[in-house]
Amino acid sequence: MSLGSVSKNGVLYFSEPSENQFEEEYIKLRTLENRILTDEQVKQLPYLQSHPKSKEWEVRQQSTQKFLEYINGKAFNTVLEIGCGNGWFSNLMAKQNPEFTVWGVDVNVKELDQAARIFKNTKNLRFAYWDIFENHESAPKPGLIVLNASVQYFENINTLLKRLFKIIKAYGEIHIIDSPFYGEEDALKAKQRTIEYYSASNAGNLIPFYHHHVFDNIDGNYSVKKLYNPKGFSIRLKKLTGKKQNPFPWLKITK
């Protein structure tokens, strides 16, 4: 395959598909967890009714809405979603601002193919297979990078950020949403829970691919702002009303 120029099933390739076991094991577990959705369901996201995962998506509606409001009217020009999966969020960002060119990239061919199939009519949206640690001359140079529920698949947060600041335009913004960050001790406990869960789900091969990031370990040279803090006073107050609040922080990271 000649990389970058060829699109297979509407997906561009900026790296050779990896031979590691990630995709196969990941899709197997996602299927078991009822997380592989039909085209019709993906089109409705973040709204998913009468489905075992409906409750999970209810809290994701909150982060989606806040993020779309944030990017509204901003001049980011090129937007990159890393770990776009089935593409629903990349599509919403593209629809939110027709001036953007939005790129959804992932290393999971099955869902990239689904994304390209479902959202082929969104003119300012592209999907690519890209291991972002590999250089490619046609790869996007974004003003905004977002990782939505995907940062936990990157081993080292600072290695990742260093790379992203190489890819992004000067003064660009990196946003991380819908992923857990822990304190040092909680990260160890969460890691143990993940090992137990993956082992019990017959998905032990995924253990090396899932990482528990410690908030305080983010390189202090970056500016890290919590645009949403699930532990903040107002959110704790809202929880008292009984409405489930999104448990994940929204981080904006700049240089």
Ligand X SMILES: C[S@@+](CC[C@H](N)C(=O)[O-])C[C@H]1O[C@@H](n2cnc3c(N)ncnc32)[C@H](O)[C@@H]1O
The footprint of ligand X (CB under 6 A) covers 26, 82-85, 89, 106-108, 111, 148-150, 153
The residue among 15 and 97 lying less far from ligand X, judged by its C-beta, is: 15
CA angle 211, 156, 189 (to 5 degrees): 35
Q: Which is nearer to ligand X, 68 or 149 (CB)?
A: 149
CB of 30 to ligand X, least distance (A): 8
In the complex, minimum distance from the CB of residue 148 to ligand X, in angstroms, rounded to a whole number: 4
Comparison of 76 and 88: residue with beta carbon closer to ligand X: 88
Query: C-beta of 240: minimal distance to ligand X in Å?
Result: 28
Residues 250 and 63: beta-carbon distance below 8 Å: yes
Residue 184 or 197 having the CB closest to ligand X: 197
Instruction: Decide whether 20 or 199 has the Cβ nearer to ligand X.
Output: 20
Do 57 and 46 touch, CB atoms closer than 8 A?
A: yes
CA 135 to chain centre: 20
Smallest distance from ligand X to CB 110, Å:
9
Count of beta carbons in the 10 Å neighbourhood of residue 248? 20
C-alpha–C-alpha distance, residues 238 and 179, integer Å:
20
Least gap, CB of 242 to ligand X (angstroms): 26
Give the distance from CA 3 to its chain's centroid.
23
22-32 vs 109-118: helix axis angle to the nearest 10?
Answer: 70
Shortest CA distance to 134 belongs to which of 109, 155, 105?
A: 105
Both tokens of 35, joined, read 């997380």
Closest to ligand X by CB, 90 or 233: 90
Cβ 233 to ligand X shortest distance, Å? 27
SS3 label, residue 252: strand
